[in-house]
């Protein structure tokens, strides 16, 4: 198993900046993987990715220098086990609201005596170094990040952040806003205050803070504030941005042609 560079970045508080991947086409994964961002986060919670498609996506990322991380569909030991057995180098786990749910996620990602991950690294043990190296390194190298995205977690931050074996947290602003009754207003003062409280708790506990921040201004702001795990783009976002530029170009070309014709 290769050294998990993103985990090392979190330990040294060096910003790890990555891309969210939701499209199941392996060519898309290969193109993004070749861009060599710090990590690629494959989203199986909200994207229509089957476990078989996840394996194909991980294969497409095989030669990438990016750390391959999967956001699991749920805080479920079976989901976490399958993702890691396919060779993911880390998991981002939703549904974490207290110490108990956080510990469940961590234990599912660690072999005994540190956890209760079931044994069966079908693909993972056939990658760098083979089976013996994987078994020796898995507990140390696999990254476990908890999603903080529900109002119920806000009163339990200190106990979540001190969960043994947890490597970092990641704020999901949209889900957090929705849980607070502000689905269509991520900039509501209550949401902003909640995210600030999470950031403050991480500072207080000297714990790695992460956040979804696809917008450029948000990404710059959070890295300036000390965030060390940040998504700064996404595959569908790239499509939207490219389409918007082409739409603007088309409008300009049509306007120019019309003006020339009128003249």
Render the burial of 133-164: b for 16+ CB within 10 Å, e for the rest. Answer: ebbebbbebbbbbbbbbbbebbebbeebbebe
Residues annotated catalytic, as ranges: 46
Torsion of CA 221, 95, 165, 157, to 10 degrees: 60
| Distance between CA atoms of residues 104 and 36, nearest Å | 32
Beta carbons within 8 Å of 2's beta carbon, 6+ residues apart: 89, 127, 128, 129, 141
Helix axes 51-60, 26-34, angle to 10 degrees: 40
| Long-range residue pairs from 150-156, CB within 8 A, at least 24 positions apart, any chain | 150/97, 150/175, 150/176, 150/179, 151/176, 151/179, 151/180, 151/194, 152/97, 152/98, 152/179, 153/96, 153/97, 153/98, 154/194, 154/197, 154/198, 156/97, 156/98, 156/99
């Amino acid at each position: 198993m290769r050294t998990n560079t993103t985990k090392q970045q979190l330990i040294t508080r060096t910003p790890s900046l990555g891309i969210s991947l939701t499209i199941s086409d392996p060519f898309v994964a290969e193109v993004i993987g070749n861009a060599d961002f710090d990590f690629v986060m494959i989203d199986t919670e909200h994207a229509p990715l089957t476990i078989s498609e996840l394996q194909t996506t991980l294969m497409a990322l095989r030669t990438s220098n990016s750390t391959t991380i999967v956001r699991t569909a749920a805080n479920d030991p079976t989901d976490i086990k399958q993702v890691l057995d396919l060779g993911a180098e880390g998991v981002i786990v939703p549904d974490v609201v207290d110490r108990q749910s956080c510990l469940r996620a961590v234990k599912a990602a660690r072999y005994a005596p540190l956890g209760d991950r079931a044994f069966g690294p079908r693909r993972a043990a056939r990658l760098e170094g083979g089976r013996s190296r994987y078994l020796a390194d898995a507990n140390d190298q696999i990254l476990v990040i908890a999603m903080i995205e529900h109002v119920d977690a806000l009163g339990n931050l200190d106990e979540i952040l001190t969960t043994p074996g947890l490597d970092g947290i990641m704020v999901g602003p949209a889900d957090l806003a929705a849980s607070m009754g502000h689905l269509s207003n991520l900039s509501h003062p209550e949401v902003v205050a909640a995210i600030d409280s999470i950031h403050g708790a991480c500072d207080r506990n000297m714990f790695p803070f992460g956040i979804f921040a696809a917008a450029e201004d948000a990404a710059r702001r959070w890295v300036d504030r000390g965030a060390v795990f940040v998504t700064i783009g996404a595959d569908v976002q790239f499509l939207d941005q490219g389409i918007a530029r082409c739409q603007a170009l088309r409008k300009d070309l049509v306007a120019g042609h019309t003006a020339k014709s009128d003249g």
